[in-house]
Copies of this chain bind each other. A is one copy, B any other.
Amino acid sequence: MASDHTRSAILAAAERLYADRGFGDVTLRDIVAEAGVNLAAVNYHFGSKDELIAELFVTRSVQTNRERLRELKAAEEQGGGRAPIEVILRALVGPTLRGCLGPETQRSTAARFMIRASIESVPPIRRIKNREIDHLRKFAAAMRRALPERSDVDIYWGLNFALAMAHHTIRESERLTKLSEGKCDLDDVEDVVARVVSVATMALTAGRTETKARALARDAR
């Protein structure tokens, strides 16, 4: 492996084109033209088109997952193995939201690519997403430690709803802006994170069982 020039040129061109125009109407010929390399180079370096897409997605995906786990681990270490549920949820949805939202003009190619991947969902990407369950289980475990009185079912539903709000907001950010006539500021990422975390926390703590977090909130009044 000499200089990797061709290989990385393809990766960069593909990510940019997919981000801009979607997976549906970007062909290998578009990519190699943008990268200034030969058509056969894609199959030579990646094996197939799907493996190219998979490599793009895996790269960005592990970056996000690493960031998530880093935040989670830091929070749990600081709390002696048990982090507050809000912090766990923030570690779960924060990196994704920060990576995909924010002012459109300064949005990275990687961010726009991940938004596409979230909207279009082509087979090679779907296959990878299915392997993410182990990763989510780590968060489920941390949430169970934070809310020991909650049932597993409630934990999983809370996790599901937290991811739902984050991903849907990313995927439909344009529509929400239009619907609200610009009143909802999707560029204020930290506000979005706070809203998602707040609602997810309520979903997990309110209800029949009185949890520590709820008791704490009540006592604080």
Q: Which residues of A contact B (CB under 8 A)?
A: 24, 119-123, 129-130, 133, 136-137, 140, 152-153, 156-157, 159-161, 163-165, 167-169, 172, 175-176, 178-180, 183-184, 195-196, 198-199, 202-203, 206-207
Does A156 contact B137, Cβ atoms closer than 8 Å? no
Query: From A167, which residue of chain B is reached at the shortest CB distance?
Result: B168
**25 CB-based A-B contacts, threshold 8 Å:** A24-B122, A24-B123, A119-B121, A120-B121, A129-B175, A133-B175, A133-B178, A156-B180, A159-B179, A160-B165, A160-B169, A160-B172, A160-B176, A160-B179, A161-B195, A161-B199, A164-B165, A164-B167, A165-B165, A167-B168, A168-B168, A198-B207, A199-B199, A199-B203, A202-B202
Does B180 contact A152, Cβ atoms closer than 8 Å? yes
Q: Please give the count of copies of this chain that the complex contains.
A: 2
Does A168 contact B163, Cβ atoms closer than 8 Å? yes
CA distance A97 to B204 in the complex (A): 21
Does B156 contact A176, Cβ atoms closer than 8 Å? yes
Does B184 contact A157, Cβ atoms closer than 8 Å? yes
Q: In whole Å, how far is A187's beta carbon from the nearest beta carbon of chain B?
A: 14
Residues of B within 8 A of A195 (CB): 157, 161
Residues of B within 8 A of A164 (CB): 164-165, 167-169, 172
